[in-house]
Amino acid sequence: MTPGQNSPALDGKSTKFWIGGTVPYSDALFYRQMSTNGTANHFIYDVYYYAKDPMAASGMEFSAAQHRYHAWYRFDWQCAYSMKYWRTWDNAGGKWVNTAVPCVRPQAYKWQHLVLEGQRLNGKTNFVSLTVNGVKHYINKTFGPKTVSTTTSWVTFHLQLNGGSTQKDFSVWGDKFKLTYW
């Protein structure tokens, strides 16, 4: 991860994310802890991303997460290009669940805009909506949290690059990252 990139950038300060190696279908996870807020119920992840060689990836993942008392709420979204649909993470069940929203491999050399909305509702993770390049899709899938031993509260967000069958090195640039929670 290399912040402060002048190009490509929308506002003069993008971050370059890179993955390489030789093990097929490897992934690289980049995350940041935002706060120790255990009371937030609503989460909006807003990002622009750009790839020069999107054919090298098998997909990408985007997530906001919250630890709260003994529960881990994960708002994980995956665009797995071979699966053809956006998927949400069932943290209690430990599995990906397809949505009806098509997952389209991004165009090379073009900024993509993604807005993901979720909320913690009645003790569960509710995936509200997914907006790709201005087109909003309501998801409304709800899953239970994963039980954890810690009582510490925190909020994080992450971006994950998923490598392909040949594990070709590639980069993705992210810009205007914003996680809003209340």
Average pLDDT (110-123) is 96
pLDDT of 53 higher than 90: yes
Average pLDDT (3-28) is 94
pLDDT > 70: percent of the chain: 100
Q: What's residue 152's pLDDT?
A: 87
Distance CA(71)–CA(52), nearest Å, equals 38
pTM value is 0.94
Q: Over the chain, what is the mean pLDDT?
A: 95
Backbone angles phi, psi at 54, to 5 degrees: -65, -15
Q: Strand 14-19: give its sheet, edge to edge.
A: 2-5, 14-19, 170-181, 42-51, 112-121, 124-132, 135-143
Residue range 60-86, pLDDT digits in tens: 999 999 998 899 999 999 999 989 999
